[in-house]
Amino acid sequence: MDTEPFSRRAFLRAAAGIPAGAVVAVGLGFVDEPFTEAVANVTHHPVRNAGIHEQVNEACPPPVDQTACLDKYIEHEQTNTVIKAPLVEESLFRIAPSAVADWLAGDGDEALANIVHGTESFAFTRREIAMGIVSTIAFGASHNITGKGFDTDTIPANQLLGGAILWCLQRKFGFLSNTTAHAAYNYLVMKRAV
């Protein structure tokens, strides 16, 4: 394996992750609504991002014109949602756990290379699967944190599905692919809400 994270080959692999991430985001955009609806029908619980739902309800309480208020809210929050949140969340829920997975496997010297351009292997180790499950659950749960505490009624189904996909992208294609996918997906969700 090419463990040098800044070689030409590694750079090309990492750069290829950007369009891969964008394609995954668009694909996820097509399945998220039917997936959400199916989970809601089976569980009879709300399926959404509880934290954002609470913020929107506080910013646009009835009887305010919901459409105009939502447009202003999205315009105000666009930088946070499309740039800051993906960078912070990908660092916390994909990059840090990825480094831990490598360190636990005794591959600490390859951690940076694996983060930058992926592992070059399409197979997952048991350790990667276990860390991916923990990371995905933590990512989903983080979307249930509201100003009033932890929302135990709402199911963050899209965040769980997306978190698992983003973990796979990061481990196999590097951080540019999962960060691009996260940012593009958030952008598409915001545009769809308008």
108 found inside a domain: yes
Give the pLDDT confidence score for residue 4 in this predicted structure: 59
pLDDT, tens digit (0-9, with 9 covering 90-100), for 18-42 = 888 999 999 998 999 999 999 999 9
Which two structure tokens, joined as six digits, stand for 93?
């829920």
Cα Dmax for the chain:
60
Angstrom distance (rounded) from CA 30 to CA 86? 20
Which residues constitute the domain of residue 112? 8-193
Q: Do 39 and 155 contact (CB within 8 A), yes or no?
A: yes
The stretch 146-151 carries a mean pLDDT of 94
Which two structure tokens, joined as six digits, stand for 122?
């399409």
129 found inside a domain: yes
3 found inside a domain: no
18 found inside a domain: yes
pTM for the model stands at 0.88
pLDDT category of residue 154 using cuts at 50, 70 and 90: very high
The stretch 130-157 carries a mean pLDDT of 96
Angstrom distance (rounded) from CA 181 to CA 25? 5
1 found inside a domain: no
Beta partners for residue 145, in sequence order? 150
Q: Kind of pairing, strands 145-146 and 149-150?
A: antiparallel
Give the pLDDT confidence score for residue 2 in this predicted structure: 47
pLDDT, tens digit (0-9, with 9 covering 90-100), for 81-131 = 999 999 999 999 999 999 999 998 888 888 888 898 888 788 999 999 999
* Alpha helices per DSSP H over the chain: 8-43, 50-59, 66-79, 85-90, 96-104, 111-117, 126-142, 157-173, 175-193
* Number of domains forming the structure of the chain: 1
2 found inside a domain: no
Angstrom distance (rounded) from CA 17 to CA 11? 10
Q: How many C-beta atoms lie closer than 10 Å to residue 21's C-beta?
A: 27
3-state secondary structure of 82: helix
DSSP 153: S
96 found inside a domain: yes
Q: Would you say residue 6 has pLDDT above 70?
A: no
pLDDT category of residue 15 using cuts at 50, 70 and 90: confident
The percentage of residues in the chain with a pLDDT greater than 90, rounded to a whole number, is: 56
Give the pLDDT confidence score for residue 113 in this predicted structure: 86
Which two structure tokens, joined as six digits, stand for 15?
């750069």
pLDDT category of residue 61 using cuts at 50, 70 and 90: confident
Give the pLDDT confidence score for residue 84 in this predicted structure: 96
Collect all residues with Cβ–Cβ distance below 8 Å to 96 and sequence separation of at least 6.
Answer: none
15 found inside a domain: yes
Mean pLDDT of the chain: 89
With 0-12 / 13-18 / 19 or more C-beta atoms within 10 angstroms meaning exposed / middle / buried, residue 118 is: buried
